[in-house]
Every structure is written in C-alpha cells, then in structure tokens.
Structure 1
Amino acid sequence: MTVRVRFAPSPTGMFHVGGARSALQNWIYAKQQGGVFVLRIEDTDAARNKPEWTEGILSALDWIGISRGSYEGPYFQSANAGEHRAAAARLHDSGRAYYCDCTREDVQARTGSQYQGYDGYHRDRGLGPGPGHALRFRTPDEGSTVVVDLIRGEPTFENKLIEDFVIARGDGSPVFLLANVVDDMTMGITHVIRAEEHLPNTPKQQLLWEALGVKPPIWAHVPVVVNEKRQKLSKRRDKVALEAYRDEGYLAGAMRNYLMLLGWAPSGDREIVPWSVIEDEFRLDEVNLSSAFFDEKKLRAFNGEYIRALPVAEFIDACQPWLTGTGTIAPPPWQPEEFDADAFAAVAPLAQTRIAVLSEIVPNVDFLFLASPLIDEAAWTKTMKDGSAELLDDAVAAFEALESWDAESLKSTLEAVGAERGLKLGKTQAPVRVAVTGRTVGLPLFESLEVLGRERTLTRMRAARLRLV
C-alpha cells in the first residue's frame, strides 16, 4: 500500500502557522514512507474564498520548502461536488441517512432524550427531499466507534452520544463533514494527520467511511498550538500568519525547525538541528499529547542563530529585499540610488551578529545610505548633555588631524580625547555615535566611521555641534 497523506487548507485568509506545522508533518511522514503528499484546497465556501488567498497558500508552502511540482495537486474541493452529492444519495438510498425538516428551534425544544442534540425525530417518518429538508446520517443506536490514532491510541466514542448529524443542507448541498470524507476516499488518502481540534468530528467521519463501504484511514491527531495563555492561536488575537513572519525577515529554515518542535523533539539535548536530521528522526508516535506553546520569543532566538550561521555572502543576499525595497512591506528610508553595496558588504559581518530578523538590518545600517542620519530625539536628549558640544569640538579637531582613517586609529584618538576630560571611552563615544548614526546603539562605532568615511563623518559631527549652540 502506498501511503497517501493530504494537507487540506481553506483559502480564507493568511496562512496559519499551525497549518504550516501540519503541512510539514504530513510532508515528512510521506517522504519517510515513500508515499505521496496531496494538496487539496477546500474552497466550497465561495463567500469566503479569494484566488489570492489560494496563491498565498502555494507561496507559503514554497517558502517553507514544500515546493510546487513536488506534490500531487493542488486539487479543489469544489471540483468534486458531484461526488459529494452522489455519496449523499447513496447513504439515503441505503437507509443510512434520512430527511428532516426540523428547525433549530424544534431541535432545542426536544433536547433531553437519549440523543445528544437532535433526538432522531424524523428517523422513521419517511420524509422525502424538498426545500428545507436536511439530510441526516443515521447514527447506530448501540455500540461504540473506536478511532485508531497513531498518537492518541484508541479513543472510543459511544454511538448513542453521537447525534444524527446533518450531511446535506436543505438546499441539497453536502456539508463539509461529508465532503471531506468523500474527497479523502476519492484521492485514496491512507493517513489523516491533523490537529486535535478535529478529533471530536473523527467518529462521525469514520462512521461515514464505513457506511460508504470503504476502510477508514489511519488517524493521527497532533496537539493544538496555543499562545502564552494556553489559548488556541487565533487569527483575531495572535500573530499567526506565516507570511507576516516571512515578511519580517524570519528564515524559512528557522521557521521549519521551530514548527517541528511544537509537540516533538529530536534526540539528545538539542533543538536547533539540520533539516535532514528532522526528516530522519521525526516519528508521529513520539509526538506529545499536551498542547504546543508557540513562543514567539523563542522563535526569534532561533532565527538569530540561523542568521549568524549563514555564510556572509548568503547573509548579504538574504538582506537585499529590505535594502532595496523589493519584496517587503516597508520600503527603506533611502532611495535605491543611495544604496551602496560595497559599504554594506563592509559592515555586513558586524550586522549579522546583532540582528534576530532580517528587517532589523535597516535601522542598523541606514546611516550609511542617507545624506544625514535619522535622529532619535529621545537618544539625542539623553546623550547630548553639558559638555557634549566641547567634546565634539575636540573630537572633530582630532579626527581632522588623522593621517590614517581606520577603526583602530579612530578609537585610539577618541580615547585620548576622552582621557583629557577624565572620561572613559563609553562616555566619550556616545555623543559621536548619536551625531553620526542618530542612535545610541548600533554597529561598532569605529568600524562604522571607517566605512562612512572622513568627510561624511566630520560633516555630521559639525552639524550636531551646531545644533547644540
């Protein structure tokens, strides 16, 4: 038997990080088993679907390493509508489903019988199809439904506690529950790997598989992803869009690595490991049962480690979208013609050790590409105190006399200026840093001044001095 898994997102917005984790888990499992990964877009809710959201799903999968052409699909659920209706008809013809015209108010009025929710009122009344007549599945009165789950063992559900659930609406359109089962049957899905939030629906789906005469798939329900308050990640409340992390400058490798740790861990006392190790070691039966905490701070730390591990040339390439304003949400504060690739290459190794996401490159290097620095007024107020004007005068004079404009000479010269005033280097360089870069923190100062050059450095220091008059 060839293992066939599927990832079946709905194109109703940005791509959820929890969905990305499920996609990766399915992808790895299929690869380990020599199987097939199927992508199905569940697009039957036409009112909520947009073509650009489908493209967003494909692009997000590309980014995390599940590239187009390497999987089967994408298929679209809406294209299988005929099979959905045919399955509903077979269930009715076989006596496994019946029509019901009860309204929600009717159901609520009769709650309290042996059934949970709907009480089976129309089970044997022979109602035929018609406007407002929903089709309900006839759940067995006795026995139980056992779900064989690779992670959770064998959850067991008493059939008498499962109501006769709707499988087709009053207008004849099948509901998602039935469509999902029929699609999996049509595509020959052997394993369904998804979040535990779907577990309550699983006995209903398994009953549908059995009623349609097909052996159910093997299930695997991975833990739900939660925020720091242990609430399920919500698009309305939490930062969950994979695209947002991509556009902020998270590396795909870091994101893949971190997502796979949500509910599972590689061998040994380690978390940051090569993708090849994850592909080799991941096991569904080793996934934890408890909820998985999506810790953005930890992800950020992961990303910083991945950035620092890049060869410098790759780091320079990775920063280009933010430096040139292509492919990012916010353009840089300089014009394209002001960007100096050689100057950036000179400071790239310094910047690489100081940023955790690629978008942070801009405030670290913007002083190199602007005619004048963007002054952080709070930094200016904090730094430019009594004595700063005279210190800048002395520093300008000392720098003007330098024969060699290099980081070592600049440092020793400014140290001497500060020593004459009884100041340590940290206090001495603060006004110079704000004058030249506009900020109190950033890249190493003297290496920055070397790259910025004598003329631009002195011009900025003189401008800052004039502002202190």
Structure 2
Amino acid sequence: MKSRFAPSPTGFLHIGGARTALFAWLWAKKNKSNFVLRIEDTDRERSTQASVEAILDGLEWLGLDYDEGPIYQSDRFGRYNEVIQELLSSGQAYYCDCSKERLDSMRETQIENKEKPKYDGCCREKSLENGVVRFRNPDDGSVIFNDFVKGEVIIANSELDDLIISRSDGTPTYNLTVVVDDHDMQIECVIRGDDHINNTPKQINLYEALGWSVPKFAHVPMILGSDGSRLSKRHGALNLLSYRDEGFLPDALLNYLVRLGWSHGDQEIFSIDEMIELFELKNINSSPASFNQEKLEWINQNYIKTCAPSDLIKHLNWHLERLEVNLDDGPKIDELVDFLRERSQSLLDLSRSCVMFYKDFDDFDELQANKTFSLNAKDFLEDLLSHLSELNDWSANNIHSIIESICDERNIGFGKVGQPFRLTLSGDGKSGSIDKSAQFVGKKRTLARLKKAIAWINSQNN
C-alpha cells in the first residue's frame, strides 16, 4: 500500500505541495507502507535543477523522509515508449497529424455550437505512421470512481477527449507517464490536489485499456488566501524554505498544514506520532482551506515554548550560523534557550536574542541611549560596576540582590537602575529579566559593557 508525492520541478515547493506531500506521507506511515518521491521532469523546457534541489531540501527540512526515490521521469522514457507502442499495436492508440490551424478551427466551431470542445476523431481510422499519438478513449459508458474526499464521481466517456499521450517529438505527456509510473511503482493510493481531478477519468481509462488495476484516489482541495482568493505570495504561497528562513520550526509548520482541511475534533496541537495515528483520508474536508498567517505564528510560538530543547537547538543552530555566532564564546546554549524561548515568537527572534550573549556590539542604540543614559544613570552604573566587580558567585540571585541594595541605598525604584543596566547589557534595550540576562552575559562582558556605557555618558557630557 504505497503512496507517492510527485512534484514537477518547474518551480519551488510551496505550502500546497508540502501539504499534499504530508498527507501522502502520513497515509503511508499509518499503513506501514512506503512513501515514494517521484520527480515529474518531462517538461524539459521548464524543469530546472534548482527546483529539484529546492524540493529535496524542503522535504528534508520538513522531515518527510521517502522510502523510495527520488525517481526521475526523465530516466524512464524507454518504458513510456514501450507502453505507447503497446497501445498502438492493440489499436487503443493512433497517430494524428491534424494541424494546429485545423484543431483551432474545430474548437471554435464547437464553442459556437455550444458543444464541449474536444478532438473529433478525424485521424482515428487513417492508419497514419507519424504525428502525435492519441489514446482512443471509449465512446460509450461512464467512468465511475469513489474518491476519499469527493465521494462518488461519475463522468460520461462522451465528455472525454482522445488525449495526446505522445507529442510529435516523441516525448510522452503527463497523463500517460503518471499512469505508467503509478502502476510500475505499485501505488495503492494517489493523493494529489483537486486541480488534477479532471485528469482522473482519462487516466482510469488508460489503466483499463492496459489491463492494470486502478489505484484509489484522494483529491485534496486547494488552499485559499485569507480573503478567499487563490493563494498567492501575499498570502503565504512562498518557497517552502522561506518559512525556515523566517524562523518556523518544521514540526510546527507540519502541524499547521495537517489542520488545513483535516481535523480531529477540536484538537489543535499534534505530535508527529499523533498525526500518523489519527490521520484518515475520509476526514479531509471537501471544501478549500484558508491560509491564516496568525494561526501559523501561534502554533510556531507554542512549539518553541514546549518542544524538547535538543530539537529546538538543532534548528536554531542553522540561524545562529548565519548570524556568525560562536557558541564556544558564551553561555551554554541549552540553558540560554530555556531562558529566552518563552518570549520568542520564532527561531529568527530567538537567534537574534542570543547574539548579545556571544558577540559584543559596537555602539548603543542612539535613540535609546539619549533617552536612558542620563547623568543620574551614570551614578547607578558606577555603583553596579563597583559592586559587581567584587561579586564572586556570578548568579542571577546575587546580581538581583546587588541591584536592590543600590536601589535601597539611593531610595529609588528598581527600574531606575534596571533600565540603564538593560541597555548597557544589550545595546538596544531588548532583553529578558535583567538579572538573568547579566548572568548569561557573564561577569567579564558585563563589567566591560558597564565601562562602555559610563564612557558613552561621559563623552556626551564633556
């Protein structure tokens, strides 16, 4: 009972494709079967290696591991031609040499007569030996199949065309290659977007003409933007890896995707194991789902707060490397992450929050410094420098006690010392609790930054 994901490398992997891949992957895992990755690269003009690599990288980032593949259709032309010859020999396919002008004229006439545009079978009995190859679609009866999502679908054969299965240059077309591949790869269930549902009756007729078993089908509705229009870049139809770049955890994105059109009661948060256990194709909603950026961000923040530190750090490292953070020059990253993640909405936020603990900054934020670094603040910072220099047990509790003692001595509120100290430590005034921040910055860096802040104040008042 295999499933497959079969993207065309004519663009990047996006949210819709990733959700289709997830549903197919979950179905395979639930049925203890194989998940096959097939790259449908027969469109030589539009297929690119960059798109192939983006697809592979995107699946790897999401953790959607495939058991077979990647299998490239461009490596299987010999097999497709073998099947085309079989259909020609059995009379179930034929050559057609109709010109584009004739076909255009034929369709215009059909439209004027309010008929469904389709090939009129002009070359069916000509016994030609070259041209495009068309499949001889049955004239009578209907194609009937039960779709996991759409229910029973009935299409009269009279509605269907004699579809082209091989172009004049000998390259096979999508409807032929997908049937051959799904048969040869023993795909039990074809899970794909519902933009393919019009192709399914044609493909079923090809299966039957070849005497092959017809797989099951699940056509998943498209994802719409929050305004109900087709999903576009402004809604979130981005290269999948842009979500990695923006600081989303892959498991959080998978959790969000599985809920786009599928549900299990009111449950919102699912582990991967829960997804596999609970996933059923019949529970996919037949209506389009709407993409909601705020919901995705909420799920991502939930995962950042609750996932295992080791998982968080594994993905955080990618961002830290890009910020050129050297983890050997600062606190233990697991302890720091535990401190910072409660206030982080994304891995991008979290990685940027880490920087101040490993790298020194060149200058203070000018607006914040002018507002916070007063002459009174200088006195408080000098008190901190004096007291903290003598502190041997560098801990948040002891640092907090020193701040409180200064406040008591000067009869001022905690914020009078805390605010300039926060700016001193961070450079921009953005950090978590001041005592814990100082603990993680470390004694040496803290004292150096206090001296830097005092020097800044002196420079402004000379």
TM-score normalised to structure 2 length: 0.86
Structure 1 position 417, deviation (Å): 8.2
Structure 1 position 272, deviation (Å): 0.7
The one-character-per-residue Cα deviations of 1:217-259 (angstroms, maximum 9, x if unpaired) are 1111112122223344457984432322234432232222222
User: Would you say 1:310 and 2:332 are equivalent positions?
Assistant: no
Q: Which amino acid aligns with 1:400?
A: L
User: Would you say 1:126 and 2:138 are equivalent positions?
Assistant: no
Where does structure 1 lack aligned partners over 5 or more consecutive residues?
A: 326-330
Instruction: Give the 3-state SS of the residue equivalent to 1:200 in structure 2.
Output: coil
Alignment of 1:44-443 (within 5 A): 44-51=42-49, 53-67=51-65, 71-111=67-107, 112-113=109-110, 116-120=116-120, 122-124=122-124, 126=126, 128-130=128-130, 133-234=131-232, 238-267=236-265, 269-312=266-309, 314-323=311-320, 325=321, 331-332=322-323, 336=326, 340-342=329-331, 344=333, 346-372=335-361, 375-376=364-365, 380-381=366-367, 384-385=370-371, 388-402=373-387, 404=391, 406-413=398-405, 415-416=407-408, 420=412, 425-426=414-415, 429-443=418-432
Structure 1 position 284, deviation (Å): 0.5
Q: Which amino acid aligns with 2:291?
A: F
Instruction: Give the 3-state SS of the residue equivalent to 2:218 in structure 1.
Output: strand
1:315·1:352 contact (CA, 8 Å) conserved in 2? Answer: no
The one-character-per-residue Cα deviations of 1:85-121 (angstroms, maximum 9, x if unpaired) are 2222333333333332333332222224375323415
Q: Which amino acid aligns with 1:440?
A: G
Task: Classify 1:375/1:458 alpha carbon distance in 2 versus 1 (closer, same or farther; 3 Å).
Answer: closer
Percent identity (aligned): 32
TM-score normalised to structure 1 length: 0.85
Moved more, 190-199 or 86-95: 86-95
Q: Which amino acid aligns with 2:267?
A: R
CA–CA separation in structure 2 for the residues paired with 1:457 and 1:341: 15
Structure 1 position 316, deviation (Å): 4.2
Task: Classify 1:13/1:459 alpha carbon distance in 2 versus 1 (closer, same or farther; 3 Å).
Answer: farther
CA–CA separation in structure 1 for the residues paired with 2:312 and 2:28: 32
1:350·1:444 contact (CA, 8 Å) conserved in 2? Answer: no
User: Would you say 1:450 and 2:436 are equivalent positions?
Assistant: no
Task: Classify 1:401/1:307 alpha carbon distance in 2 versus 1 (closer, same or farther; 3 Å).
Answer: same
CA–CA separation in structure 1 for the residues paired with 2:162 and 2:135: 5
Structure 1 position 344, deviation (Å): 4.5
Query: CA RMSD of the aligned region, Å?
Result: 2.9
Structure 1 position 353, deviation (Å): 1.0
Moved more, 362-371 or 216-225: 362-371
CA–CA separation in structure 2 for the residues paired with 1:345 and 1:187: 44
CA–CA separation in structure 1 for the residues paired with 2:418 and 2:283: 54
Task: Classify 1:451/1:191 alpha carbon distance in 2 versus 1 (closer, same or farther; 3 Å).
Answer: closer
2:226·2:235 contact (CA, 8 Å) conserved in 1? Answer: no
2:382·2:454 contact (CA, 8 Å) conserved in 1? Answer: no
Instruction: Give the 3-state SS of the residue equivalent to 1:342 in structure 2.
Output: coil
2:385·2:451 contact (CA, 8 Å) conserved in 1? Answer: no
1:4·1:30 contact (CA, 8 Å) conserved in 2? Answer: yes
Structure 1 position 374, deviation (Å): 5.5
Task: Classify 1:60/1:95 alpha carbon distance in 2 versus 1 (closer, same or farther; 3 Å).
Answer: same
Select the residue among 13, 16, 35 that pairs with 1:15.
Answer: 13
1:100·1:127 contact (CA, 8 Å) conserved in 2? Answer: no
CA–CA separation in structure 2 for the residues paired with 1:463 and 1:158: 84
Task: Classify 1:466/1:228 alpha carbon distance in 2 versus 1 (closer, same or farther; 3 Å).
Answer: farther
CA–CA separation in structure 2 for the residues paired with 1:57 and 1:244: 13
